[in-house]
Structure 1
Amino acid sequence: MNAEQRKPVRERVVLAERRGARVVRARVEVAEQTEVGAVLIGGLIRAQFGLAVRLGSVTVVVLGALPLLFLGPLGTATVFGIRLPWLLLGAAAYPLLFVVGRIYTRLAERNERDFNELTRD
């Protein structure tokens, strides 16, 4: 190959070096209460609220469906001398509420961990 057939070597042209480019740090944005920080905190609040609404809805549906179960023959059934509706409302409702509370706490803490990892330096 002669010199005329070779392709010219490409050269990178840099007009300006980027020195000290501002790196947006989410933790600083949250601490200084800037617009970006407000959006981040708003996202966490929306996530926690959505979680509360979902679990609250499930709880209301489950506990609200119990009276429908008692309309039929289950309303007059007895277990250990206690009518089944009283047994379910008095004994089964509280463990259900406890489990829903534990699930909410675990998922809310996971949301907060995700937020903290997002805002970590």
Structure 2
Amino acid sequence: MAEEQQSPPRREIVTGVSRGTRRRAPAHTPACSEISEQTTLGATYVRAIMRSQLRAGLGALAVLVPLVAVLPLVLVLPGAGSGPLVWLALGLLAYPVMWLIARWYVTRAERNEADFTGLVTDPAEAPSTPRPRPRGPL
């Protein structure tokens, strides 16, 4: 029998995080704790997000109300009866415009929340890859 050549056992090196990159305590109090502790600054943050969401909602409502208010006037026009103008006004004009308004509102509300989250979270706890925010008219 031939003697088997045994190699020396493989060495494993265990490393840790270097001292310079260890997580340090934040120099300031994160805004999250300000909100949870219900301080004056936290109340200001909450009012700011509520104002921005209210502004987006009122903007969508300002476009939607005239659209809905004009529909009965279009349907009362002479000759509108039950003809193709009713189907055109209801099916092809009103609902797609309402859908676009709703889409704009949801996108705006998500952008407001993403901005607020970016403002409130501690940069040390933020995820390493930021999520892209949708930008554009819708």
TM-score computed with the length of structure 2 as normaliser: 0.59
How many residues are treated as equivalent by the alignment? 98
- For residue 47 of structure 1, report the CA deviation from its aligned partner: 0.8
Aligned to 1:85: 86
Q: Is the 8 A contact 1:55 1:104 kept in 2?
A: yes
Looking at structure 2, the residues matched to 94 and 68 of structure 1 have their Cα atoms a distance apart, in angstroms, of: 17
The alignment-based identity, stated in percent, is 35
Q: With structure 1 as the length reference, what TM-score do the two structures score?
A: 0.66
Q: Name the structure 2 match of 1:104.
A: 105
Aligned: 1:114 with 2:115: yes
Q: Find the residue that maps to 1:76 and give its secondary structure.
A: coil
Q: Distance in 2 between matches of 1:93 and 1:68?
A: 13
Cα drift, residue 96 of structure 1: 2.0
Cα RMSD for the two superposed structures: 2.8
Residues 3-57 of structure 1: CA deviation (Å, up to 9, x unaligned) = xxxxxxxxxxxxxxxxxxx624212111222121111011101110111011111
Q: Please, which of 51, 54, 61 is the counterpart of residue 66 of structure 2? A: 61
Q: Tell me, yes or no, if the aligned pair for 1:76 and 1:83 is still in contact at 8 Å.
A: no
Structure 1: state its 5+ residue gaps.
1-21
Alignment equivalent of 1:76, drawn from 47, 57, 79: 79
Work out whether residues 67 and 94 of structure 2, in 8 Å CA contact, stay in contact via their aligned partners in 1: no
Q: CA deviation at 1:67?
A: 3.7
| Unmatched segments (≥5 aa) in structure 2 | 1-26, 123-138
Which whole-Å CA distance do the structure 1 matches of 2:99 and 2:59 have between them? 16
Partners of 1:77 and 1:70 in 2: how far apart?
A: 6
Find the counterpart in structure 2 of residue 94 from structure 1. 95
